[in-house]
Every structure is written in structure tokens, then in C-alpha cells.
Amino acid sequence: MKNILLLAVLTIFATSAAHAYVDDAHSRAMEAATPQAKQGFLVRQEYWAGTLVTKQPSVVKHQLFKGNTYWFWLGSDEDSAQVTVHIYDPKGNLADAEAWQKGNKAAVKVVPKVTGTYYISFSIDQSKAKKNRWALAYGYK
């Protein structure tokens, strides 16, 4: 009976921990989004998330519409992480209108000059952890 209880507790803990990884990274991204959310940007519920090794540049492709302003917010659950995010237009040209990074949070703003597929490039530049959970969210106005 004791073993069954222990197994149940461990299972719940393991499940919670697995969710916590993703949620913590997303929470950091949402912290980064707070100023824009207050300015009326609609923050999307769906977001990108995963695990990255340090200094591995990664890219997500995303459809943007000319006329809107977008912010992308990147967060990592690893406190020691230094993350960066930039955006490139459909021809591969840097399209950052504004960008900042602070520890395990970073953000980039873009005002698309054309409608089409954009490339959001991001990386964990420094970290004590070998693998880092990350989450990338965006909002528009």
C-alpha cells in the first residue's frame, strides 16, 4: 500500500514537474509581455516551446500581416540563461524595429513592411544548463 502511495505521489510530482518546465519558460515570456499587454496588444494563447542546447540558433516561421505591429517575447526557465531574439523578413533581411534582452527574457518588435512569412531567430547565448526550456509567444495590435 505504501509503495502504491509513493508511486502515486511520484507520478503526480513528475507530471507537475514536466508541466512546470514549459510553464516556467512561458511565464518568463509573459513577464516580458506585460508592458505591451497593458498597451492593448492582444497576446496569443498559443505559443512555441521546446528545449535548446546553448548557442544553438533556432528559427520559427510565422505569417505576419502588413498594417499590424507585433511583439515576440522569448523566455527560458533557466535563471542563468542569456537569451536573444531577432526577426527577419520574407527575404531574410533583419526587420527588428526594437529589441531588448535581459537575462532569461528577450523581446523584439516588428512592423511588417510586407505581408508574408517572417523568420524569428532566437538562441540561448549563455547558460549554466546544458539544455534549456524555452517559450516564444507573440502579440499584435
Binding site for other proteins (CB under 8 A): 40, 42-48, 50, 52, 56-63, 65-68, 82, 84, 86, 88, 90-94, 96, 99, 101, 114-117, 119, 121, 125, 138, 140-141
Q: Name the residue nearer to other proteins (CB basis): 82 or 104.
A: 82
Residue 15 C-beta: closest distance to other proteins, Å: 13
Residue 138 C-beta: closest distance to other proteins, Å: 8
> Which residues make Cβ contacts (< 8 Å) with residue 77, sequence separation at least 6?
20, 21, 24, 25, 28, 104, 132, 133
Burial of 125 (0-12, 13-18, 19+ CB in 10 A): middle
Residue 4 C-beta: closest distance to other proteins, Å: 25
Q: Name the residue nearer to other proteins (CB basis): 28 or 52.
A: 52
The rounded distance, in Å, linking the Cα atoms of 125 and 132 is 11
The rounded distance, in Å, linking the Cα atoms of 5 and 137 is 38
The rounded distance, in Å, linking the Cα atoms of 39 and 135 is 22
- DSSP lists the bridge partners of residue 109 as 71, 98
Q: Name the residue nearer to other proteins (CB basis): 24 or 48.
A: 48
Residue 21 C-beta: closest distance to other proteins, Å: 16
Distance between first and last Cα of the chain = 56
Q: Name the residue nearer to other proteins (CB basis): 35 or 57.
A: 57
